[in-house]
Amino acid sequence: MATTRTTHRINRKELKQPDEFQTFITNAQEFILSNLTQVIVSASIVFAAGALAVGIYYYEIHRDNIAGDAFYTAISELKKKNYKQAEADFEKLVQNESGREVGRLSGFYLGSAYFQDGQLDKARDALVAYVPDAKDDLFASMAYDDLGVIYEKQGDLKKAQGAYAQAAAIAGPEQTRAQLQLAQVMARQGDKAGAISAYTNFLTTNPFSPERQTVIEALADLGAAPPAGMEALSELMRKPPTKP
């Protein structure tokens, strides 16, 4: 038996009713139009923040370049022994560029410039200010070593001992010299036991050092013998190589 298909005819009223997609688009348009000012402001803020970040980045690069150029100019003045100009240049970098490595490192070179210029008090103060923020062990050890020399020149052997001890505790090319200076300043203060211990420790940790024989003689002056086998090693090192 054949079924009868009912055909629904769309009337004019139904044709005029919008579908869901059209409704969504219309609502979105209405939302944007009603909130246009807020949308524009938000977009402007995002754009401005991005532009500011880019601007700061390139500004900092520009400042880095300027600070670097000023630093190397000051180094050049120091090498030429134009101490007053070098001091002024490094002082400016210390004050204005403390957040940059060249600014911090300028504190070390400022102390060096004052030291070479014979201004021991200013050299001491500059180095004392530098060492707490020293990021590089080599420069820290050199700063402590220079402080030790300055304190010795000023007659403050106790502070010199402390500075040399700090330098001697930092591994690197300045360590052996600081160890010797520490022992010497202890001997100068009459600390015989401390000096003997420091010299002995130096020989134990640096058995092939060029200063080995000098240290052995310093121990003898203090009435102490070097570690076992050290004199024989020193004698062997002094003999010229045997020809085959």
Say which CATH number the domain at 120 has: 1.25.40
Higher pLDDT, 26 or 153: 153
Whether 124 and 60 map to the same domain: the answer is yes
Query: Is 15 inside any structural domain?
Result: no
Whether 150 and 232 map to the same domain: the answer is yes
pLDDT digits (tens, 9 = 90+) for 29-83: 666 556 656 656 666 666 555 555 555 444 456 577 888 899 999 999 999 999 9
pLDDT at residue 159, as a whole number: 97
Query: Is 34 inside any structural domain?
Result: no
Whether 185 and 114 map to the same domain: the answer is no
Quick one: which of 39, 16, 44, 15 has its CA closest to 29? 39
Distances in whole angstroms, Cα of residue 2 to Cα of each of 5, 212: 9, 120
Query: How many Cα atoms occupy the beta-carbon half-sphere of 41 within 13 Å?
Result: 4
Domain boundary among 84, 119, 135: 135
Whether 116 and 155 map to the same domain: the answer is no
Cα(166)–Cα(164) distance, integer angstroms: 5
Higher pLDDT, 75 or 4: 75
Query: How many Cα atoms occupy the beta-carbon half-sphere of 169 within 13 Å?
Result: 8
Q: Report, as an integer, the average pLDDT of 109-137.
A: 95
pLDDT digits (tens, 9 = 90+) for 160-200: 999 999 999 999 998 999 999 999 999 999 999 999 999 99
pLDDT at residue 98, as a whole number: 85
Whether 99 and 181 map to the same domain: the answer is no
Higher pLDDT, 21 or 155: 155
212's CB contacts (< 8 A; 6+ apart) are: 203, 206, 230, 233, 234, 237
Lowest mean pLDDT among 82-86, 90-94, 201-205: 201-205
Give me the DSSP letters along 66-131.
Answer: HHHHHHHHHHHHHHTT-HHHHHHHHHHHHHH-TTSHHHHHHHHHHHHHHHHTT-HHHHHHHHHHHG
Q: Report, as an integer, the average pLDDT of 114-122.
A: 97
| 46's tokens | 């995002």
Q: Report, as an integer, the average pLDDT of 108-116.
A: 96
Cα(166)–Cα(2) distance, integer angstroms: 108
pLDDT at residue 154, as a whole number: 96
pLDDT at residue 19, as a whole number: 55
Q: How distant is the alpha carbon of residue 165 from its chain centre?
A: 21
Other CB atoms closer than 10 Å to residue 200's CB: what's the count?
A: 18
Whether 98 and 157 map to the same domain: the answer is no
Structural domain count of the chain: 2
Domain that holds residue 180: 137-244
Query: Is 23 inside any structural domain?
Result: no
Quick one: which of 64, 135, 154, 142 has its CA closest to 109? 142
Domain boundary among 115, 135, 155: 135
Question: What is the pLDDT of the chain when averaged over all its residues?
Answer: 81
Query: Is 87 inside any structural domain?
Result: yes
Whether 213 and 239 map to the same domain: the answer is yes
| 78's tokens | 């120091």
CATH (domain of 231) = 1.25.40.10
Whether 194 and 177 map to the same domain: the answer is yes
Query: Is 39 inside any structural domain?
Result: no
Is the distance from CB of 101 to CB of 91 less than 8 angstroms? no
pLDDT at residue 207, as a whole number: 84
Whether 81 and 129 map to the same domain: the answer is yes
Query: Is 31 inside any structural domain?
Result: no
| 192's tokens | 């015989």
pLDDT at residue 213, as a whole number: 87
Query: Is 5 inside any structural domain?
Result: no
